[in-house]
Structure 1
Amino acid sequence: MIRRIAATLSALALTLCLGVALWLNDWIDETEIPPLVLETGVEVLDRDGALLRAYTVENGRWRLPVSYDAVDPSFIEMLVAYEDRRFWSHPGIDLRAFARAVWQRLTSGRIVSGGSTLTMQVARLLEDSGTGAWGGKIRQIRLALALERQMTKEEILTLYFHLAPYGGNIEGIRAASLTWFGVEPRRLTAAQSALLVAIPQAPNSRRPDRFAEAAEIARNRVLSRAVTFTDLTEQDVDWARNEPIPTERRDFPALAAHLSDRALADRPTQATHFLTIDVVLQARMEHLARRATTGLGPQISAAIMVMDHQTGEILASVGSPDYTDHPRTGFVDMTQAVRSPGSTLKPLIYGLAFDAGLIHPQTLVADRPISIAGYAPQNFDEVFRGEVTAAEALQASLNIPAVNLLSALGPHRMLSAMGRADMEVSLPMDEAPGLAIALGGLGTRMDDLMRLYGGLARGGIAPPMHWRAGEAPGDGQRILSPVAAWYVADILGDVTPPPNAPRIGLAFKTGTSYGHRDAWAFGFDGRHVVGIWMGRADGASVPGAFGADLSAPLLFEAFSRIGDRPTLRPGPPPGALTLLNADLPDPLRRFDPQGGSNGPPQPSITFPPEGAVLAYQPDLPVIARVAEGTPPFTWLWNGAPIAIGDRDREVILGDIGLGFGELTVIDATGQAGTRQIEIAD
């Protein structure tokens, strides 16, 4: 009888246990789990993944994305040892720890130790529930058990790494390590790890910037336990205890702030933006911009850009000395502001004139008073120098020769070249482009000018300029022939550097806009292009501001901060004439800006026609014909002479090779005609 009763009770107990187990299993499976995809702040990273700038999430909280592998393993070991030693083995709740906490509470009347596991803490943080009420605790237990069924231990810890509170508006270990130590959590000292373990237990009363003593006591308590349950030695802990507690919050990185804003505005739903920026170089350029404007008045701003002209990658972009400086209107990105380029477009005019066969660097040009249809430009210093070489005129940035050359070329030819460089140009409304554009009478942006100078540095081909990593827009278009681009670079390479600046093989040009509103300097070597702008963001005049005095020294300083910098530019390409004026063909010895106005008609190439595609046939020569003009004629292909002093109006060009090119004829009076053609195989 007794055995039968015992068997019955055992069966009932087993049935009850089985029922409870089944109910518990269903209870856990039916748990409503909150969203596990957390909102994190948008981050902008440099070319190597270093943080440039971060943005807050809702309500201004700092919570940055972080992976399990991006957290120092020693921190993880210390966290588990202090908070939840059986984390890797329990199913979400630790019954031993829970029973101990309940017994201590009953016997002492107060909370001696907590029974919450790390998984339960994650459950509480996901739901933002309290810690003391039994109803909340049961809910945390249920959610913790459910989380353990759906996630790995590493995934649960990763949630903790995002949600753990660290005082104020700081959430997650990555935001905390940047706030309190200025480092990523990938590598932490023992003292740093211990503090980051301790703060979330009481984030508001252990904030190091407000309660440094409480934070230190809590940190040292964590270190003491780490000696027992981690690989740390007593000596390691002694060293860690002597490490000072950080007493101030550090600012989050805000490098390339303007470019980061552009990236976010361009793709507002993208969480991570990789830029071509070099974080070290960016920091150097921002420091240089701040230092350069110190002492120049509260409203003087500056902008700096650095580009690798071989790849088109923007390595540094500084839109203002300080993004938060309101007197300087620091929030305005001056690399994108439309401003007058001053004299910085003159190299393009000379390059086009070289390609058109109008001049050679040693051609004599006149620097005398002129008036063209009522337009009478003056030199900046109001001094006229008579006859100088084209190279000397460009180096001295004389206005009269540049205007005369543009008059011969035509403004639309210059604008067409700027279009090929992908430059955006702003002209006065309802006005046709005039000769004033030679001296900056149009609007363009700093990054457009970077494209132009990148083209000069790359042998006449505009670089595929871009700032998103891995997203080059393709090959750039040709602006100038290799010969013309080399002539310009060679001339600018002989410009005298500013006082005390080193001679480092830099080709550079300065510019000052009308009314001293913009002071520019652009330069390039064998690899990099650097652009400098200084002035006021509101466009007001800055009396006495010249590009040569204000921006050129800053340009050389910027180049000195570029590491591993090749200084040599390429040598002369095939077809370049390195001759003195006396050795040039007669039509290239002197440029007559009035030629053709009231004299003999300008030569015109009648064959081949503009845009013609001629088949390459080795046995059949390419023939060209010219009408009008005064013989003898000089013929050039891409700026290089192929026939000199020919009195016939028909000429055999010979084997000029394959590809696109510019055919130019110059007559005895110095007038020229051109055709763009292609020799195809």
Structure 2
Amino acid sequence: MRLDKWLRRGAITAASLVSVAGLTWAAFEAADRAFPAPLPEKLAVSTEVTDRDGQLLRAYATPDGRWRLATTLDQVDPQFVAMLVAYEDKRFYDHAGVDYIALARAFTQFAGNGRIVSGGSTLSMQLARLIEPRESRSFGRKIRQIFRAIQIERRLSKAEILERYLTLAPYGGNLEGVRAASLAWFGKEPKRLGVSESALLVALPQLPERRRPDRNPAGARNARDRVLARMVTAGRLGEMEAARAALDEVTGVRRALPALAAHAADAALRSRPAESRHQLTIRKSVQEGLEAVALEAARKLGPRISVAMVLADAMTGEILGEVGSANYFDPSRSGWIDMTRTLRSPGSTLKPFIYGLAMEEGLVAQETLIEDRPADFAGYRPKNFDMTYQGDVSVRQALQLSLNVPAIRLLDAVGPQRLVSRFRQAGVTPTLPVGEAPGLAIGLGGIGLSLRDLVQLYTGLSNGGKAKVLRDGSEAAAPAPLANGMVLEAQAAWQVTDILAGVRPPVGAAPRGIAYKTGTSYGNRDAWSVGYDGRHVLGVWVGRADSGSVPGISGYESAAPVLFEGFVRSGLAATPLRRPPSGAFRSAHGDLPVTLERFVSAQAGELAPAPRAIAEPAPRIVFPPDGARVELGAATADAIPLVLKLQGGRAPFRWLANGKPLVEIERRREAIWQPDGAGYSTLTVIDAAGRAASVKVFVE
């Protein structure tokens, strides 16, 4: 009786197939128009965030909780595609949706054995089942699949059919598509699949839950081996190659999909929620290195401590790596808070810009002596970090040791408002206490800046004085370039860099050839370190996201080691610091003019002695005028000298070009200067009474 039943079922099935195949073309056209295939132009796929080279940084599950990554054929190993077609549908490129030979064989085997021996579904029919899932198996459902497969073939190319299948095929759990499966089961993109891995991914979609490697590794291995055996029979693999692939272990671990640059990825989704693919300026290898450094450092520093890092290209402003927290998924460290954008006190990290402005003004040179003693600035009494004082120190020593009092002396001379104005010119707007104007306290961190702000300012030091707007690609629109961007003049930027390049590395760190500065905010709440070479700037913040105090934390001890390790683990080649611009050099103290030997500030309790009366008016340079462009052929071998003229002053006169004294002391009010190159230069004259005048000119 059972044999009769199977034969009767086979006859009915065969008759059904004949009826489908015998449909007139007109009838099919009518049915096709009446019941179009549900083929959306765009599949609902996971949102992806990629790096600058298209490598996946982070993926987001679909609204229904599926990991379904869009897949194109060029993202998959061609050997895998060949194995898939050979195993599932060897006449894929020859049929129009239905392989009647395979169907007839399958139904004949079913009729003769009472069970399914081999399937007859083509890849087009399987795609039809994926886009229109059936609730149960039946011959009516099979007929519907056949109809849909023919419709699909009429609308899509063979390549498009394969790509949709590779995007939608089930691979166990909530994994759909070969890219999600390859990343979850092997930790790699399907472009890099090996023979054993390809065979397993060919086998999984038939029974994805029964063959899941994490739940049934034996079943997964057996299914893989059957695919390998079939490939040998089909001539796709040699016996030895298949035997070697069969020796590979089947992984029993499901990996998490990439979640790199999590904060930047979230920002990209917020700015452009309708897009399914976002490309950042980040470089994946750099990001992986920085995130590893941040996580390791936070674990060493202790519980509740977080680390943030930003690495940018100083020439373009593009961010190559950014870590918003030590671990995005760690609630104990408030990992979800992006500390690269959070306003904090920058400590002493702004001091280089104070010294740079003072050098621009001609107030100090590197070897100018300056006092590090207790001082009172109209009630503001800065103290050094270690509560000790060094007495007379050079400007170079004062900046390298990060002494507070000398920095405030210079800030008092150049003016806090001017410092803030330069920050704004560089595209950074600091946050001040409500209703307060910039005061001397900003020199020691009394201002609100983010880590990104600091890195943007320091791009100016690395880039010859001109800052670049930072961007990581998450913005809704590309930021406008800065109109000027000058945070310091080129010569002052080089002088500051020359000083910072001499700061000794932290204990245990190998020299890197970078210039860097550290800072610690009041109450040990924030530790900073910002360093740069001739191309890249890396900023590091260490602290607690809740602004809690961390006893013992400091920029040099806590953040600087992370900075140096971050440069190493970024994988970026070191770029030499910029060469000095024309006219820039470091003078020994004995070569300084009298006005630069010592910096003297007038302030409460330390008033400078009143100058004695001088009959002659102060010196004034009348040629060249300030801001003039002078054509001397400076770029040629026949460059001509420039005649300098002044009025007033008491002879003799000493002339300086870019801080370097000319050879002779003149009693006349004229001098000859031979420029050593094209570009901006500062000319200064000092009379016998120590009075000075300066002009800036551009030599062509």
Whether TM exceeds 0.5 here: the answer is: yes
Residue type matched to 2:441 in 1?
A: A
Structure 2 match to 1:575? 583
Distance 1:295 1:453, change over 3 A: same
For normalisation by structure 1, the TM-score amounts to 0.88
Worse-matched range after superposition: 449-458 or 422-431: 449-458
Quote the Cα distance in structure 1 between the aligned partners of 2:352 and 2:243: 66
Count of aligned pairs: 662
Query: Is residue 122 from structure 1 mapped to residue 127 from structure 2 by the alignment?
Result: yes
Q: Which amino acid aligns with 2:166?
A: F
Deviation at 1:616, TM superposition (A): 4.8
Moved more, 616-625 or 390-399: 616-625
Superimposed CA distance per residue, residues 226-269 of structure 1 (whole angstroms, 9 cap, x where no aligned partner): 11124212222222222111211111111122222222223222
* Distance apart, 1:492 and its partner CA: 1.2
For the residue of structure 1 that corresponds to 2:422, the secondary structure is: helix
Q: Write the distance in 2 (CA, Å) between the matches of 1:164 and 1:88.
A: 19
Paired residue for 1:23?
27
Give the counterpart of 2:238 among 233, 242, 266: 233
Which residue does the alignment assign to 2:501?
493
Match of 1:516 among 514, 524, 531: 524
Structure 1 residues 19, 299: CA separation in 2 closer, same or farther (over 3 Å shift)? closer
User: Matched residue of 1:456: which SS?
Assistant: helix
Deviates more, 1:345-354 or 1:204-213: 204-213
C-alpha displacement of 1:117:
1.2
Q: How many Å apart are 1:462 and its aligned residue? A: 1.5
In the other structure, the counterpart of 2:430 is 425
Aligned residues of 2:513 and 2:574 also touching (Cα < 8 A):
no
Moved more, 246-255 or 630-639: 630-639
Q: Which among 348, 360, 385 is matched to residue 380 of structure 1?
A: 385
Is this contact kept in 1: 2:286–2:572, CA < 8 A? no
Q: Secondary structure, in 3 states, of the residue corresponding to 1:447?
A: helix
Separation of aligned partners in 1, 2:312 and 2:487: 18
Taking the aligned partners of 1:106 and 1:253, their CA distance within structure 2 comes to 48
Partners of 1:189 and 1:503 in 2: CA distance: 41
Distance in 1 between residues matched to 2:141 and 2:686, nearest whole Å: 92
Which of 262, 265, 285 is the equivalent residue of 2:267?
A: 262
Is 1:166 aligned to 2:171, yes or no? yes
2:309 counterpart residue number: 304
Tell me, what secondary structure is at the counterpart of 2:333? coil
Paired AA for residue 569 in structure 1: L
Of the three residues 507, 527, 533, the one matched with 1:525 is: 533
Partner of 1:561: 569
Larger displacement relative to structure 2 (333-342 or 70-79)? 70-79
Cα pair 2:285 2:571 within 8 Å, conserved: no
Q: CA 1:604/1:274 → structure 2, altered by over 3 Å: closer, same or farther?
A: farther
Residues 605 and 674 of structure 1 are in contact (CA less than 8 Å); yes or no, is this contact kept in structure 2?
no
Deviation (angstroms), 1:471: 6.6
- Which secondary structure state, in structure 2, belongs to the residue aligned with residue 59 of structure 1? coil
The offset of 1:157, in angstroms, is 0.8
Call closer, same or farther: CA 1:467–1:115 in 2, change over 3 Å: same
Deviation at 1:363, TM superposition (A): 0.5
Whether contact under 8 Å (2:408, 2:440) holds in the other structure is: yes
Matched position secondary structure for 1:316: strand
Name the CA distance, whole Å, in 1 between partners of 2:129 and 2:21: 29
Q: Distance in 2 between matches of 1:478 and 1:241?
A: 63
Answer whether contact 1:43 1:51 (CA < 8 A) is retained.
yes
State the distance in 1 between where 2:299 and 2:21 align.
78
Q: CA deviation at 1:108?
A: 3.3
The answer to whether structure 1 residue 48 and structure 2 residue 48 are counterparts is no
Identify the residue that residue 504 of structure 1 maps to in structure 2: 512
Provide closer, same or farther for how the CA distance between residues 508 and 658 of structure 1 changes in structure 2, counting only shifts above 3 A. closer
Q: Distance in 2 between matches of 1:583 and 1:511?
A: 32
1:555-591 Cα shifts (integer Å, max 9, x gaps): 2222333446336323333222432222211111111
1:654 Cα offset (Å): 7.1
Paired amino acid for 1:496: R
The alpha-carbon distance between structure 1 residues 651 and 428, as it changes in their structure 2 partners (threshold 3 A), is farther
Q: Which residue, 532, 545, 548 being the options, matches 1:537?
A: 545
Q: Which residue of structure 1 aligns with residue 210 of structure 2?
A: 205
- Which deviates the most, 596-605 or 59-68? 596-605
Distance of 1:380 and 1:631 partners within structure 2: 45
For 1:672 and 1:23, locate their aligned partners in 2 and report how far apart those are by CA, in whole Å.
100
Alpha-carbon offset, residue 386 of structure 1: 1.3
Q: Give me the TM-score of the superposition, normalised by structure 2.
A: 0.86
Contact 1:484 1:639 in 2 (8 A): no
Task: List per-residue Cα deviations over 1:529-553 (Å, max 9, x = no partner).
Answer: 2222111111111111111111122
Return the alpha-carbon distance in structure 1 between the equivalents of residues 417 and 667 of structure 2.
31
Shift of 1:625: 7.7
- 2:487 alignment partner in structure 1: 479
Measure, in 1, the Cα distance between the counterparts of 2:146 and 2:224: 28
Identify unmatched segments of 5+ residues in structure 2.
1-19, 633-639
The 5-angstrom pairing of residues 6-85 of structure 1 reads 20-34=24-38, 35-85=40-90
Q: How does 1:347-362 map to 2 (within 5 A)?
A: 347-362=352-367
Q: 2:555 aligns with which of 544, 547, 553?
A: 547
* Residue of structure 2 in register with 1:338 after alignment: 343
The alpha-carbon distance between structure 1 residues 523 and 620, as it changes in their structure 2 partners (threshold 3 A), is: closer
The answer to whether structure 1 residue 99 and structure 2 residue 104 are counterparts is: yes
SS in 1 for 2:518: strand
Change (3 A) 1:335 1:634: farther
Distance 1:625 1:238, change over 3 A: same
- Alignment gaps of 5+ in structure 1: 1-15
Equivalent pair of 2:307/2:324 in contact (CA under 8 Å): yes
Q: CA distance change for structure 1 residues 138 and 641 in 2, over 3 Å: closer, same or farther?
A: farther
Could you tell which deviates more after superposition, 56-65 or 164-173? 56-65
- What CA deviation, in whole Å up to 9, does each residue of 1:456-476 have, x standing for no partner? 122212235332399796576
Shift, 1:348, TM fit? 0.6
User: 1:680 deviation in Å?
Assistant: 10
3-state SS of 2:308 partner: strand
How far off is 1:274 after superposition? 2.4
Q: Residue 286 of structure 1 aligns to a residue in which SS?
A: helix
The alpha-carbon distance between structure 1 residues 107 and 36, as it changes in their structure 2 partners (threshold 3 A), is farther
Tell me, yes or no, if the aligned pair for 1:79 and 1:197 is still in contact at 8 Å. yes
CA contact (8 A) 1:532 1:554 kept: yes
Determine the structure 2 residue equivalent to 1:253.
258
- Equivalent residue number for residue 12 of structure 2: none
- The structural deviation recorded for 1:608 is 8.8
Which AA in structure 1 matches 2:560? A
Name the SS for the 1:254 alignment partner: coil
Shift of residue 644, structure 1, vs aligned partner: 9.5
Deviation track 1:195-225 (CA, whole Å, cap 9, x = no partner) reads 1111111122221111222222222222221
CA deviation string 1:622-678 (max 9, x = no partner): 989899x99988776766668998899x98897889877777777888787877x77
Q: CA deviation at 1:425?
A: 0.7
Residue identity over aligned pairs, in percent, reads 47
Superposition map of 1:262-341 within 5 A: 262-341=267-346
Q: Partners in 2 of 1:183 and 1:526 — Cα distance?
A: 34
Structure 2 vs 1, CA of residues 123 and 478 (structure 1 numbering), >3 Å: closer, same or farther? same
Deviations 1:92-127 (A, max 9, x none): 111122223333333433333322211011111112
Deviation of 1:606 after TM superposition, in Å, equals 8.7
Read off the aligned partner of 1:322 and give its amino acid letter: N
Q: 1:598 to 1:31 in 2, by over 3 A?
A: farther
- Distance in 2 (alpha carbons) for counterparts of 1:200 and 1:613: 74
Letter in 2 for 1:574: S
The 1-side partners of 2:650 and 2:70 are apart by 74
Q: Calculate the aligned-residue CA RMSD, in Å.
A: 3.4
